[in-house]
Chains A and B, each alone.
Chain A
Amino acid sequence: MTEHKIETPKERLNRHKAMEASAVLEKIKHDYKEPPRAMEYFYDLYERVHCKHESLHSDKAKVGTMCIQVPSEIIYALDAVPLRLCNGFYTDDEIGSDFLPSKSCPLVKATVGQFVSNNFSDKPDVIISPTTCDQKAKSGAIIESMGFSVYDMEFPRTKESHESREYWRRSVRKFTKDLSENLNTKLSKKKLKESIQKIGYAQHLYHKLNILRKNTASPILGKDMFLVTNAFFFDKIDSWIDAMKKLLEECEEMVEAKVNAASKMSPRIVYTGSPPIFPNLKIPLLIELCDAIIVADETCSSNRMFNDMVSVDEWFINDMIDSIADRYLKGCTCPIFTKNDDRKRRILDLVKDYKADGVVYQAFAGCQVYEMEQRSVLEAMQKAGVPILYIESDYSPSQSGQLTTRIEAFVESLKNRKRRQQ
């Protein structure tokens, strides 16, 4: 037998991740009705970054962010790129399991796992860890102990009070100052304004596309939308904007032509809960395989990222920074807040605006806040007469038959309801 070289641990890990990513891309590309042609860009992007491990930002300073609370506007204005580190790889989840309690949330385990293996296509130079959920906050310290540079960004646990608003504003100002020192760049008024506008433009494109999903014949499936929004975690922002424009144009034409990404009777779903992050798009993929369509979502890996724009009264540096701070705190509907009626309100609004037939709520096993808030969201939905399905899930890739059965049953009950109402 001829001798063959054995892979290095790094090669093996990259192969595992490539295999995991390509298995999911395979489903996304082929198991559903034909997607818009402009999705090719995104499919290709994931392949380049997650299967071929291509680096996109070798020329820039990279700021890793552990949660959406870190203002990207400021990072771009300092000539660096924000890379969101929330991770969806089962491969990394398994590695992280050796470093965290077994009952931790898979997202946190996968994020830590990525640092254990120290394997990045684009390695962050500094990591910003907002003190949002406990598991995130504590894993920041674990990552630091592995020799990475981690900056704790203090984040309040309530958002209604004046005190927390002031506290957070100070926190963002401090962050801006510290980061600019760390990166050795001075923040200019012009750059900050430009970056607010650029992100605002990205959000504007997202909103326009999102609104098209209100049509009875939605041009795009939720699984593709998750892919588009997840790409914002790591893509070059200008390329993302270009790709979005093309997608938007095509989807507008599709709406014109009444092309329906789903079938006529497909129940319309609002998705909420722990964030689906590529390649763990397990539940969204299952929902749409069961002949439903996700028309909107309330998750921090998609809609919540783009929901609110920074609104500025005066274009002075400090005003801009305060406005940015406000947008991140006020707009956030994450369950880490002590109480969060905003979240229920937003889900209900989405159900109404997008004429949804039901809600699917995913909580990662081990994510206390989403698990705890589940009950009150369920009650709110029941009170409003909105059917809701609660699912606990993890990152393991084996297709769980039980999950399919539950989702199928839920989708069918929605279909029956629809038929009877007509």
Chain B
Amino acid sequence: MNYFAGIDIGSTAIKIAIVDENRKLVGHKISASGSMFYKYAKQALKEMLDELNIDEKNLVYRVATGYGRKLFKEADENISEITANAMGAMAAADGKCNIKTIINIGGQDSKAISLDDEGNVVNFAMNDRCAAGTGKFLDVVAMNLEIEVDELGEYHFKSQGTPLAINSTCAVFAESEIIGLLGNDHSVEDIVAGVHYSIAKRIIKLLKRVGINEGIYFDGGPALNSGLVNAIENELGKKIFIPEFPQITTSYGAAILALESYEFENKI
């Protein structure tokens, strides 16, 4: 059996996905990028193959994506994360959702992508100017509130009062706003809900730039935060679709492309 790898080298993590000839996702892995992208990416890929018991010569095509993609020299091909994200989303939704709009929140940026009926990217918008509203920001929030990132969802649903708006558009000022709210004895729950709604509102603005069409898909690590998902759904007034492994969609898309390129080259 032949295998195909998608390697997404992001600012905070390296995500690898491997698919087989039948487009089936056979394995995925997330590891920290650290300072030496190339070394870590290579190492992670090797570990992954070992874990899955795949012989290196059976890995016939590798596609790199993400912000560090050019550093991965073994790649057979490169692809932008926008395209990879769209392809991965279509594969991950697997017909369960007719995706027209993708929200992706990454470690240091957030994106909105709109697709046509065939799943081609027609438009996209990115917010990469500031960390407010990204995964990194959620980390900082959790740290300030002395809770774990994966507890944010739980706190969100326990909020009883008014979610406390965070109006600063800059992560640094937003952090001091949060510290101020804590100092004024507001509950962690109301602050967490406020943070989620503030991020959600910013996401909606981004979405409006590309057009919001029914069939909304949300991925990236923060999609695991049920509180944030709820906030975005409330702002949209619509349900959104979350894939099973939201963190790896982009690498999954790269892996699918690897498969398709290989098929194309070998005229299978």
What residues of chain A have their CB less than 8 Å away from a CB belonging to chain B?
Answer: 1-2, 4, 6-7, 9, 11-12, 15, 18-23, 26, 29-30, 51, 397-399
Cβ of B144 within 8 Å of any chain A Cβ, yes or no, is no
With A1-B226, A1-B242, A398-B169 in contact, do A22 and B164 touch (Cβ < 8 Å)? Answer: yes
Complex contacts, A29 vs chain B, CB 8 Å? 184
Cβ of B165 within 8 Å of any chain A Cβ, yes or no, is yes
Number of B interface residues at 8 Å Cβ cutoff, please give it: 25
* Inter-subunit contact B234/A6 (CB<8 Å): yes
How many A-B contacts if CB must be within 8 Å?
56
* Inter-subunit contact B184/A23 (CB<8 Å): no
Nearest residue, chain B, Cβ from A25: B162
15 pairs, A vs B, C-beta closer than 8 Å: A1-B226, A1-B242, A4-B226, A4-B230, A6-B233, A15-B162, A19-B162, A19-B165, A22-B165, A26-B181, A26-B184, A30-B184, A51-B162, A399-B168, A399-B173
Complex contacts, A398 vs chain B, CB 8 Å? 167-169
Residues 163-209 of B contacting A (Cβ, < 8 Å): 163-165, 167-169, 173, 180-181, 184, 194, 197
A172 to chain B, nearest CB (A): 41
Cβ of B46 within 8 Å of any chain A Cβ, yes or no, is no
B176 to chain A, nearest CB (A): 12
Complex contacts, B181 vs chain A, CB 8 Å? 26
Cβ of B74 within 8 Å of any chain A Cβ, yes or no, is no
* Inter-subunit contact B164/A23 (CB<8 Å): yes
* Inter-subunit contact B169/A19 (CB<8 Å): no
Complex contacts, A21 vs chain B, CB 8 Å? 162
With A1-B229, A6-B233, A399-B168 in contact, do A15 and B163 touch (Cβ < 8 Å)? Answer: yes
B202 to chain A, nearest CB (A): 11
Report the bound CA distance from A2 to B233 in whole Å. Answer: 14
* Inter-subunit contact A30/B180 (CB<8 Å): yes
With A4-B230, A397-B167 in contact, do A18 and B239 touch (Cβ < 8 Å)? Answer: no
A26 to chain B, nearest CB (A): 7
Residues 204-249 of B contacting A (Cβ, < 8 Å): 226, 229-230, 233-235, 237-239, 242
* Inter-subunit contact A7/B167 (CB<8 Å): no
B130 to chain A, nearest CB (A): 12
Complex contacts, A12 vs chain B, CB 8 Å? 234-235, 237
Complex contacts, B168 vs chain A, CB 8 Å? 398-399
Other-chain contact of B167, A2, A11, A23 (Cβ < 8 Å)? A23
With A15-B197, A18-B162, A22-B162 in contact, do A6 and B237 touch (Cβ < 8 Å)? Answer: yes
Nearest residue, chain A, Cβ from B153: A1
Report the bound CA distance from A9 to B237 in whole Å. Answer: 7
Other-chain contact of B238, A6, A15, A20 (Cβ < 8 Å)? A6
Nearest residue, chain B, Cβ from A1: B226
Other-chain contact of B163, A4, A19, A399 (Cβ < 8 Å)? A19
Nearest residue, chain A, Cβ from B164: A22
Nearest residue, chain B, Cβ from A47: B162
Report the bound CA distance from A56 to B157 in whole Å. Answer: 29
The 9 A-B residue pairs whose C-beta atoms are closest, nearest first, are A19-B165, A23-B165, A7-B234, A18-B162, A22-B162, A30-B184, A51-B162, A4-B230, A6-B233
Complex contacts, A20 vs chain B, CB 8 Å? 165
Nearest residue, chain B, Cβ from A9: B237
Report the bound CA distance from A345 to B163 in whole Å. Answer: 45
Complex contacts, B194 vs chain A, CB 8 Å? 19
Report the bound CA distance from A20 to B163 in whole Å. Answer: 10
B139 to chain A, nearest CB (A): 21
* Inter-subunit contact B226/A6 (CB<8 Å): no
Report the bound CA distance from A21 to B163 in whole Å. Answer: 11
Nearest residue, chain B, Cβ from A4: B230
Report the bound CA distance from A51 to B190 in whole Å. Answer: 13
With A1-B226, A1-B229, A26-B184 in contact, do A399 and B164 touch (Cβ < 8 Å)? Answer: no
Report the bound CA distance from A397 to B167 in whole Å. Answer: 7
